[in-house]
C-alpha cells in the first residue's frame, strides 16, 4: 500500500497532491461526524455494499455543501481527489460511477451560487500602500508591507511568492529567499542578506530570481533584472525600497526576503493574513467594497496597466509567466486608455481597405466556376 501511495504521490504535481490531501481530510472529518472509523474500516468491511458507499458519498456531498460551505463548482474536484485517494489505499472506487452519484453531481452543478469576485488594483492604490507604510516613524512591520506590494505589482507575483501562510514558512513555500534577490555592485552580484554593509550609490542593478513558484521546475529559475540608470522616479523608487529593506532587515541567506530576525533570532515573516488586510483597507480608502479585493488583485493590476499602455501579448505573457493568451485575459481589466486606443484604431480607414477584400477574399474563376468566388473563412 505504501508503495502505491508513494507512486501516485510522485506522479502528480504538488498542487494536485494538496487537492487530494484536502479531499481526504474532508472525508475523514465527515466519517467521524457519521461515527465511522476514518481509517475506512467500514468501507473495507466485506459487508459494506456498493449502495452503502454510494449513500455515504451522497451524504458527503451534502456535508461539503452545507457544513463546509463549499461552492457547487468545487464538488467535482473534491470527489475526483477523493477517488484518487481511494485508489491509492486499494479501496474499491466503483461507487463513484454510480448513476445516482453522477446525477447528483449534475444537479449540484446547476445550483445557484455567488462566484468569488476579484478586481485589479490601480497604480494609485499600490502607491497609497507604499506611502502609508513608509512615513516617518514607520516600523519594520509597516515598511515590509510597502516592499511587498511593490514587488507584487512590478514583478506580477502570486501571493505565495512573497508572503507566508504561517508565521514560520513551510519548507515547500514559494517565497523569494534572501539569495533570490541580488544587487550588482562593481560588476558582481551580492545576495540581499549581505547588503547592510553597502550603500545605495554603489548599486548598479537589482536582480530577482523566481525559483520556487508552482509553475517553475526546480533548477529552472526565472531571472528578472533592472538597471538603476535610466529609470523614471516611480520605477526607481521600487528598487530603492527593495534595497532599503535588504539593508535594514536581518536575515540568513535561506530566510524569506520579506522577513526579519529579531535580536533573539526569532523569524518575523510577513503573513498572508496581514497583507490581505492591507489590501482590503486600501480598497476601503478608495471607496470600494473590500470583498472585491484580495492579494491577487495586485497581480491582476500589472497586466491591466501594461495592456492599457499598449503592451503586446508577448510582453504580457512574459510579465506574468503565462503560457497562453486566454489565461492572461482573465487577469486583465478594461481601462479607458485601452478602449480609446482601440477606438482610434477602429476609425482608421487605412487598416482595412477594398483592396484587402480583393486580395484576401475574392478568388478568380476555375474550371468549375464561370465567375469569381468569395473565399469562406
Terminal-to-terminal C-alpha distance of the chain: 56
Q: What is the 3-state secondary structure (H, E, C) of 88-105?
A: HCCCCCHHHHCHHHHHHH
pLDDT tens for 273-297 read 999 999 999 999 999 999 899 999 9
SS3 188: strand
**Quick check: 231 and 240 in contact, CB under 8 A?**
no
pLDDT value for 293: 92
Q: What would the grid cell of residue 90 be?
A: 486499494
Q: What would the grid cell of residue 48 be?
A: 459494506
Candidates 160, 74, 61; CA nearest to 115 is: 74
pLDDT value for 170: 74
Of residues 367 and 243, which shows the higher confidence score? 243
Which of the residue ranges 48-62, 159-173, 251-265 has the most confident prediction, judged by mean pLDDT? 251-265
Of residues 357 and 275, which shows the higher confidence score? 275
The rounded mean pLDDT for the chain is 85
Other CB atoms within a 10 A radius of the CB of residue 164 amount to: 24
Q: What is the mean pLDDT of residues 61-74?
A: 86
Residue 13: φ, ψ to 5°: -65, 155
Q: What is the mean pLDDT of residues 129-143?
A: 93
pLDDT tens for 153-211 read 999 999 988 998 877 777 767 788 899 999 999 999 999 999 998 999 999 999 998 87
- Taking CA atoms, 117 is separated from 178, 200, 235, 297, 351, in Å, by 34, 41, 29, 10, 37
265 pLDDT band (50/70/90 cuts)?
confident
**Quick check: 264 and 87 in contact, CB under 8 A?**
no
Q: Rounded to an integer, what distance in angstroms lies between the CA atom of residue 316 and that of residue 306?
A: 7
Q: Rounded to an integer, what distance in angstroms lies between the CA atom of residue 184 and that of residue 245?
A: 16
Q: Rounded to an integer, what distance in angstroms lies between the CA atom of residue 189 and that of residue 178?
A: 13
Residue tagged 452519484 (cell numbers): 101
What contacts 192, CB < 8 A, 6 or more positions away? 178, 179, 181, 182, 183, 242, 246, 251, 257
Residue 263: φ, ψ to 5°: -60, -30
Exposure letters 338-356 (e unless 16+ CB within 10 A, then b): beeeeeeeeeeeeeeeeee
Amino acid at each position: 500500500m505504501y508503495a502505491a501511495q508513494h507512486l501516485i504521490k510522485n506522479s502528480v504535481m504538488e498542487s494536485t497532491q494538496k487537492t487530494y490531501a484536502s479531499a481526504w481530510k474532508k472525508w475523514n472529518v465527515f466519517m467521524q461526524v457519521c461515527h465511522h472509523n476514518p481509517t475506512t474500516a467500514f468501507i473495507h468491511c466485506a459487508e459494506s455494499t456498493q449502495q452503502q458507499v454510494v449513500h455515504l458519498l451522497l451524504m458527503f456531498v451534502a456535508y461539503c455543501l452545507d457544513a463546509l460551505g463549499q461552492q457547487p463548482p468545487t464538488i467535482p474536484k473534491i470527489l475526483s481527489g477523493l477517488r484518487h485517494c481511494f485508489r491509492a489505499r486499494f479501496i474499491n472506487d466503483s461507487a463513484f460511477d454510480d448513476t445516482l452519484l453522477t446525477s447528483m453531481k449534475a444537479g449540484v452543478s446547476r445550483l445557484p451560487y455567488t462566484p468569488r469576485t476579484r478586481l485589479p488594483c490601480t497604480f494609485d492604490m499600490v502607491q497609497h500602500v507604499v506611502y502609508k507604510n513608509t512615513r516617518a516613524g514607520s516600523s519594520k512591520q509597516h515598511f515590509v508591507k510597502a516592499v511587498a506590494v511593490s514587488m507584487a505589482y512590478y514583478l506580477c507575483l502570486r501571493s505565495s511568492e512573497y508572503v507566508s501562510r504561517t508565521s514560520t514558512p513551510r519548507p515547500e513555500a514559494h517565497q523569494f529567499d534572501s539569495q533570490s534577490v541580488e544587487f550588482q555592485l562593481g560588476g558582481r552580484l551580492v545576495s540581499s542578506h549581505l547588503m547592510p554593509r553597502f550603500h545605495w550609490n554603489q548599486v548598479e542593478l537589482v536582480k530577482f530570481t523566481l525559483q520556487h513558484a508552482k509553475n517553475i521546475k526546480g533548477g529552472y529559475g526565472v531571472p528578472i533584472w533592472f538597471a538603476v540608470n535610466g529609470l523614471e522616479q516611480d520605477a526607481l523608487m521600487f528598487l530603492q525600497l527593495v534595497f532599503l529593506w535588504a539593508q535594514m532587515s536581518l536575515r540568513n541567506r535561506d530566510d524569506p526576503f520579506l522577513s526579519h530576525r529579531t535580536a533573539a533570532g526569532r523569524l518575523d515573516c510577513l503573513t498572508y493574513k496581514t497583507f490581505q488586510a492591507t489590501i482590503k483597507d486600501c480598497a476601503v480608502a478608495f471607496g470600494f467594497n473590500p470583498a472585491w479585493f484580495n492579494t491577487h488583485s495586485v497581480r491582476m493590476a500589472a497586466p491591466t496597466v501594461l495592456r492599457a499602455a499598449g503592451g503586446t501579448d508577448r510582453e504580457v505573457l512574459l510579465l506574468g509567466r503565462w503560457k497562453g493568451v486566454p489565461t492572461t485575459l482573465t487577469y486583465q481589466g478594461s481601462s479607458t486608455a485601452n478602449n480609446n486606443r482601440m477606438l482610434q484604431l477602429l476609425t482608421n480607414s487605412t487598416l482595412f481597405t477594398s483592396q484587402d477584400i480583393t486580395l484576401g477574399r475574392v478568388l478568380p474563376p476555375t474550371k468549375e466556376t464561370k465567375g469569381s468566388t468569395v473565399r469562406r473563412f
